[in-house]
Amino acid sequence: MAARGRRWAREDLAGDPLLVARALLGAHLVAGPVTLRLTEVEAYWGSKDPGSHGYRGMTPRTEVMFGPPGHLYVYRSYGIHWCANIVCGTAGECAAVLVRAGEVVGGHDVVAARRPEVRERDWARGPGRLTKALGLVGEDNGAALVGRGAPFALYGPSTPPADAVVRTGPRVGVSGPGGDGTAYPWRYWIDGEPTVSVYRPGKPRIRRG
């Protein structure tokens, strides 16, 4: 397994989600026997961001996104698969980073059993595949990433590796103002990584009636 580096603490996540998203690239997310090196993430920023689940305020579903930082926000996407976000920012502020893709660097045998007949490159290539690789489900919503006894953990540098080229662009499947998502280029990925997911533009919602 690749060296994990220092374990992240709550204060490492208590900042601007755009900066936290960049810092998470190259970090290691650990869930039991499985470790992922994160290669692609997306930032979401509450009332400043129409693409965020917390844009219109707190609901029972989004409560965990309002902090404190250092927890997982897990939700079902389109009724098909789970997506996992790392809550950041400050308590009372809605901010989170969606973990979109990563490279499996530990627990290969476990992930191979969870993702049979799937190429290793694709084990965690996309948010739904990533949660399957890690074994994350709805019951993990609100689970801690920091602190003693936390069931999950983050390790690694506070910045991407020195030789990494970080790219940024519109988030996948999120349209936003203008219809194409370019107003919020809050998707970050390490250039050249084969595990980064395929970009798909969002489709503007059609207002009826």
* Residue 2 burial (CB count, 10 A): 12
Here the tokens at position 146 are 């920091």
Segment 165-198, tens digit of pLDDT: 999 999 987 866 655 667 889 999 999 999 999 8
Task: Domains for the chain: give ranges and CATH numbers.
Answer: 10-190 (3.10.300.10)
The answer on pLDDT for 208 being more than 50 is: no
Segment 107-155, tens digit of pLDDT: 999 999 999 999 999 999 999 999 999 999 999 999 999 998 999 999 9
Q: Give residue 127's pLDDT.
A: 95
**pTM of the entire predicted model:** 0.90
Nearest to 73 by CA among 21, 144, 9: 144
Average pLDDT in the 53-67 region?
91
